[in-house]
Amino acid sequence: MSPRGPEEPDRTDTLQVHVDALGVGRCLLTAVGSLDLHTAPKFSDALQPLLRDGNQSVLVDLSEIAFIDSTGLTSLIAAYRTTRATGARLALIAPSERVRRMLAVTGTDQVLPSYATVNAVPD
């Protein structure tokens, strides 16, 4: 890993994350951009605290994730593991084709449910 040159952009900017409350005990995290080696820490920093409350349902909108790599998948698996420890609920909303392919190839889709819309997620 070479040190970042002065002209090289901060690559964590390639992912935007924001969280909206959807009422009591339910929130929506929307991630837009690239979920990869450079941005996965930023994603996990936003997602993991939401999962520590076992009564929380956390919906993660991945419809605008254009690129995901193995480090990005690792952050999703880590989130799933946190829910197993805390009892929080985690659901993915409309994962992009690229994300869906990676979840299916690895079998992660068997443990992380996906829904077409926020409203399709059962209470």
Partner 1 sequence: MRLMQASHTAPLEQLPKLIAEHAATAGMRDVAVFVVDLRETVLRRLTGRGPAAGDGGQEFTVAGSLPGQAYQRVELLPEPERDGPDDRPGGRRWWVAITDGVERLGVLRADTATGDEATRQSLRDLASMTALLLLSKRSFSDSHARLVRTEPMNVAAEMQWNLTPPPAFAGLGTTVGAVMEPAYQVGGDVFDYAVAGSTLHLGVFDAMGHDTTAGITANVAVAACRNARRQGASLSETSHQVEQTLIEQFATSRYVTAILADLDMETGRLTWINRGHHLPILIRDNRWTSELACPPAGPMGADLGLPIRTATEQFEPGDRLLLYTDGIVEARDKQGREFGRDRFVDFVRRHHSGRHTLHETLRRLMAAVMDHHDGALDDDATVLLTEWRGGHQHTLIP
Residues found near partner 1 in the complex (CB under 8 A) = 1, 37, 69-71, 73-74, 77-78, 80-81, 104-108, 110-111
Quote the least distance from Cβ 41 to partner 1, whole Å: 12
Would you say 55 or 74 has its CB closer to partner 1? 74
Would you say 19 or 80 has its CB closer to partner 1? 80
> In the sheet where 57-68 sits, what is the strand order?
15-21, 26-35, 57-68, 89-93, 114-115
8 A C-beta contact, residue 93 and residue 62: yes
Quote the least distance from Cβ 1 to partner 1, whole Å: 7
Quote the least distance from Cβ 106 to partner 1, whole Å: 4
Would you say 50 or 73 has its CB closer to partner 1? 73
> How far is 39 from 34, CA to CA, in rounded Å?
7
CA dihedral 117, 21, 52, 69 (to 10 degrees): 50
